[in-house]
Amino acid sequence: MSDAVITQEPARSAAVQSRAKVVARDVNVHYGDKHALQQVAIDVPEKAVTAFIGPSGCGKSTFLRCINRMNDTIPICRVTGHIEVDGRDIYDPEIDVVQLRARVGMVFQKPNPFPKSIYENVAYGPRLHGLASTKAELDAVVEDALRRASLWNEVNDRLDQPGTGLSGGQQQRLCIARAIAVNPEIILMDEPCSALDPIATARIEELIDELIENFTIIIVTHSMQQAARVSQRTAFFHMGRLVEEGPTEQIFSNPKDRRTQDYITGRFG
């Protein structure tokens, strides 16, 4: 994606060294009659963590779900506008949604491991996409994913036990392992720590720090501290609009918009 296409760039700063992985322009989302997301435009840099913050119902999760077209599963949801991943319009009818979702993995708010063994949870994606042709290769893929999700040491002796038997934090890391096992380029995280205790949250945050070496991460969070801790860039959503976007430091120390200021200082939300 060349910069020439980007016409309205609200706060393009020098802090963004890497190129934009996801580019969104004029994105509007309607749920039936409700206009949930209005005119969103953003560039998400590669191999960095971008945090979406904002009060409940502001549209940040809705926008996140547009990036891997998860909103397609909601019949009343209508998406218009332009979202590109690596310069390719993902709402192009020729795009295969399933392939897109393999490239853009997702971790959900509530840990949702399959009611199967830990091994099967991780192996499902690679098997589906033919990433391993032999059992040994598959074992290696599973081990690698679990290691990268820093779960291997805790579960390597009980891979055949159900994933639903793990603790909440472990389950969420299992879900992350499951997402990275198919080797996506982007990982979308929809409030991944909201159901976890502070210790499990800290581990996930550490993990996110490690993962940006290989992945582009977009995280939706309610916790401003979390956004400040893990992200390089932050976008603030309010009432279905993207209010302000920029380097995390700048958003938290010197926001341009009054609403951002009010939100991060705790006036509302």
Partner 1 sequence: MTDIPASGPAALRPALDVTSDAAKLRIRARYRSERRFRALGIVALSLTTLFLAFLLVDVIRKGLPVFTAHSLVLDVTVPQDAIDPSGRRDAAAIRGADLYPVTRDAMKAAVPGVQGRSAERTLTRLLSVGATADLVERLVAEPQLIGTPLRTRLLLSDDADMFFKAKHEVTSAPGRGVATPDGVSGTVTVTLSEPGFAARLAAVKAAHAASAQVLRLEAERSARQGAVERAKDAATKADALAAKAAAKDAAETLDDTLPSLLVALGGGLVKIETLEASRATGVVLLPFAEAKAYADWRIVAFERPASERKITDQEIAYLEHLRATGKVEAHFNTRFFTSGDSREPELAGIRGALVGTAWTMLVTLLLCVPIGVLAAIHLEEFAPKNRITDLIEVNINNLAAVPSIVFGLLGLAIFLNFFDLPRSAPLVGGLVLALLVLPTIIIASRAAIKSVPPSIKEAALGVGASQQQAVFHHVLPAAVPGIMTGTIIGMAHALGETAPLLLIGMVAFIVDVPQAITDASTVLPVQIYLWSDLPEPAFQQKTAGAIILMLVFLFVMNAAAIVIRRRFERRW
Q: Which residues bind partner 1 (CB under 8 A)?
A: 68, 70, 73, 75, 98-99, 101-103, 105-108, 110, 112-115, 124-125, 128-129, 175, 178-179, 181-182
**DSSP annotation of 70:** G
Contact between 159 and 167 under an 8 Å Cβ cutoff? The reply is: no
Among candidates 122, 107, 99, 134, which has minimal Cα distance to 181? 122
Nearer to partner 1, 108 or 152 (CB): 108
Edge-to-edge, what's the strand order for the sheet holding 186-190? 104-107, 186-190, 216-220, 49-53, 233-238, 241-247
Contact between 202 and 116 under an 8 Å Cβ cutoff? The reply is: no
Please, what is the minimum distance in Å from the beta carbon of residue 72 to partner 1?
A: 9
Please, what is the minimum distance in Å from the beta carbon of residue 66 to partner 1?
A: 14
According to DSSP, the β-strands at 20-31 and 77-85 are antiparallel
Please, what is the minimum distance in Å from the beta carbon of residue 180 to partner 1?
A: 10
What is the spatial distance between Cα 112 and Cα 98, in angstroms, rounded to a whole number? 19
Full DSSP string of 29-44: EEETTEEEEEEEEEEE
What is the spatial distance between Cα 37 and Cα 58, in angstroms, rounded to a whole number? 8
Please, what is the minimum distance in Å from the beta carbon of residue 6 to partner 1?
A: 29
Nearer to partner 1, 129 or 222 (CB): 129
Please, what is the minimum distance in Å from the beta carbon of residue 120 to partner 1?
A: 10
CA torsion angle 136 145 1 101 (round to 10): 80
Please, what is the minimum distance in Å from the beta carbon of residue 121 to partner 1?
A: 9
